[in-house]
Every structure is written in C-alpha cells, then in structure tokens.
Amino acid sequence: MQQQKIRQQYLRDKWCYARSRSSSQQSQRWHRRRVRSRIRSAQEPAKLQYRKLGDSDLFISEITLGTMTFGEQSTEKESHDMLSYSFDQGINILDTAEIYPIQPKQETQGRTDLYVGRWMKSKPRDKVILATKVSGYSDRTFLRDNAEMVRADAPNIKESVEKSLSRLSTDYIDLLHIHWPDRYVALYGEFSYDSTKWKPSVPFEDQLKALQELIDEGKVRYIGVSNETSYGVMRFVQAAKLHGLPKIVSIQNGYSLLVRCSFEVDLAEVCHPNNCNVGLLAYSPLGSGVLTGKYLDDNSGNSKSFRLNLFPGYM
C-alpha cells in the first residue's frame, strides 16, 4: 500500500512538472513572439495619423508644416523641397501668415505666401489644407494699403484675405486664424497680464461677422484663433452661439515641453471636445529647435544660421 501511494505521488509530481515545463515553454515562445513583433514595429516607418479638427470637416495630419522661415532663412528652392517632401510623407496641412517670413519687415512681407503659392500650382488643390493668418492689433501699417493701425475689423480682414488669396494663387483658404488678438494680451515674453495696458478692441461679434462674410463668399471655409487666451476663446464661442455666427474650430498656440502651462492649466479644459471642442494646432513643438539639442554646440558649422542666433529671444 505504501509503495502504491509513493508511486501515485511520483506520477502526480511528474505530471505537474511536465505541465509546468510546458507552460514555461509556451510563455517563453509567447515572449519571443512579442519581442520579435516589437522589433518589427520599431523597424517599420510610423504611419502618420489624421484627426478631425474641432467642429470642422477637416481631417488633418498630426503634423502641420510651418512656413515662417520661407523667404528669410530658406530660399525658394529649399522651401519647395520641404513642401514636396512633407506632402509626399502624408502631411496634408501647411500653415502660413500674411506677415511671414519672420522677422516681419516691409521688404519681405508676403514672400512666404508667394513661395507657397507657386508650389501649390503643381499640386491638386483639394489635397492640401491651406491655413493662413490675418494680423490682429498692430502698428505694422505696411500690411495695408491705407491704414493708420492694423485691426481685426471688417475692412482689414477683407483686405488681408484678398491679398493672401492672390499671393497664394488660390480661390479659397481652408482655415483662417486671427494671428493674435485685437486687444492687449500677455504675449511674446510676457508671463503675466498687465491691466494697465488694457485698450478697447473690435467686438468679438463684429470680428465674427466679418469672417462670416468671407465664408458666405466661399473665400474661407473655417476660422480659428491664435495666441489666444481662455477668455478670448470663450468670448468667441459665446458670440457665435448668441448671434448665429461661425464658431472657431481651432486655436494655434505655442506648446512644447518648454511651454506647457499656458495651455494645460485652463485652455485644455476650455478646448476639450465635451466643452468648446476647439482643436489645438501647436506651434514650436520643439521649442524653436532648443529641444533638438542643436544649440548645445555654439561652434557647429551652421549654428549662426539658427533662428535664435539670428534673432535672439525670438521664439
């Protein structure tokens, strides 16, 4: 009897060992397959993703090509090469502005648009989502034919769009942003609001009415804001709702590992799809190139051509 119990225990132990060994082998095989799968995924080019922008019908690539160096730091050939490469990689949205290239000056203003426009002639118009920007409050009167001050009012917006369409060689703009507000806000190096700089501004409703006219004429499809605050976004959304005017679908603000708080603290809540549903188009996601590490070596051959070296402090 004792020998029989010992034999039964031996057989059970042997079965358990075989089962454990089989399970271990299966686990190892699964692990090896998982590792090989991850290696293959890492070796394969990442597929560009596309997302719906706010309330619009625009499905844009997760990367937007910015063009503000075209005509200043980049020649026309270099600009066209960048545009073509981006387009071939699946990027379907490019961003320009009436004031480009940076830094703004009368002799080069609009050159970026001209470069983009000449490139656009060789591409199917419906395959490129063209975003541009009209200037807000500014004393750069060279932007207008006859103006004592540039404002985001109907005459200024209309003149800006007509000139942009001409330079860009197109009949319509897919996405038009107000480049910066028509009122005082803390921008470009200011980190707190200075209440003493408050000034009257073009009413939000009037700005939207001017943009509505351009939409009705088929010259603009969607509108957005740039360098805007939570207050501004909410006022634009409120004015659109109260008066039956077009709603902003996007906000183009600086956002990167270096510049986060201004969006994450409260704009993220305002722009959330369940709230105002305003899509973020982040500019300077690499902190004007700082996050690439290229500024670590001041002695590199082409460091003098980097933007922050050409224009100190200009992000």
CATH of the domain at 142: 3.20.20.100
Give mean pLDDT, residues 96-107: 95
Residue-wise pLDDT for 224-248, tens only, equals: 999 999 999 999 999 999 999 999 9
84 touches 94 (CB < 8 A): no
Shared domain check, 183 and 112: yes
Q: What angle do CA 16, 17, 22 make, to 5 degrees?
A: 100
**Percent of the chain residues past pLDDT 90, beyond the cut:** 72
Greater model confidence, 76 or 306:
76
Shared domain check, 124 and 31: no
pLDDT, residue 70, reads 97
Shared domain check, 108 and 37: no
pLDDT band at 312 (very low <50, low <70, confident <90, very high): confident
The region that residue 194 occupies, defined by phi over 0 for left and psi between -120 and 50 for alpha, beta otherwise, is beta
Q: Is the pLDDT of residue 90 over 80?
A: yes
Render the burial of 2-35: b for 16+ CB within 10 Å, e for the rest.
Answer: eeeeeeeeeeeeeeeeeeeeeeeeeeeeeeeeee
- Is the peptide bond preceding residue 101 cis, with omega within 30 degrees of 0? yes
Question: If you average pLDDT over every residue of the chain, what do you get?
Answer: 90
Residue 289 within any structural domain of the chain: no
- Assigned token pair, 315: 């992000």
Shared domain check, 134 and 241: yes
Given the residues 85, 100, 255, 314, the one annotated as active site: 100
Residue 313 within any structural domain of the chain: no
Shared domain check, 221 and 73: yes
- Assigned token pair, 118: 């000449």
- Cα–Cα distance for residue pair 184/206, rounded to 1 Å: 17
Residue 312 within any structural domain of the chain: no
Shared domain check, 75 and 33: no
Residue 296 within any structural domain of the chain: no
Greater model confidence, 184 or 24:
184
- Is the peptide bond preceding residue 28 cis, with omega within 30 degrees of 0? no
Residue 294 within any structural domain of the chain: no
Shared domain check, 110 and 37: no
Shared domain check, 170 and 39: no
The region that residue 312 occupies, defined by phi over 0 for left and psi between -120 and 50 for alpha, beta otherwise, is beta
Shared domain check, 25 and 161: no
Give CB contacts under 8 A, 24+ apart, made by 234-242: 234/270, 234/276, 235/204, 236/204, 236/207, 236/208, 237/276, 237/278, 238/204, 239/203, 239/204, 239/205, 239/208, 240/208, 242/205
> Which structural domain range is residue 156 located in?
50-284
Shared domain check, 141 and 25: no
Shared domain check, 71 and 111: yes
| Angle between helix 154-168 and 204-216 (nearest 10) | 40
Question: Is 222 in the active site?
Answer: no
Residue-wise pLDDT for 202-214, tens only, equals: 999 999 999 999 9
Residue 40 within any structural domain of the chain: yes
Residue 110 within any structural domain of the chain: yes
Shared domain check, 235 and 98: yes
Of the candidate ranges 172-181, 210-219, 262-271, the one whose mean pLDDT is the lowest: 262-271
Q: How many domains are contained in the chain?
A: 2
Residue 310 within any structural domain of the chain: no
pTM (predicted TM-score): 0.85
Which of 250, 315, 266 lies closest to 286 in space, CA to CA? Answer: 315
Residue-wise pLDDT for 2-57, tens only, equals: 666 666 666 666 555 556 566 666 767 777 777 677 666 666 677 899 999 999 99
pLDDT, residue 34, reads 75
65 touches 96 (CB < 8 A): no
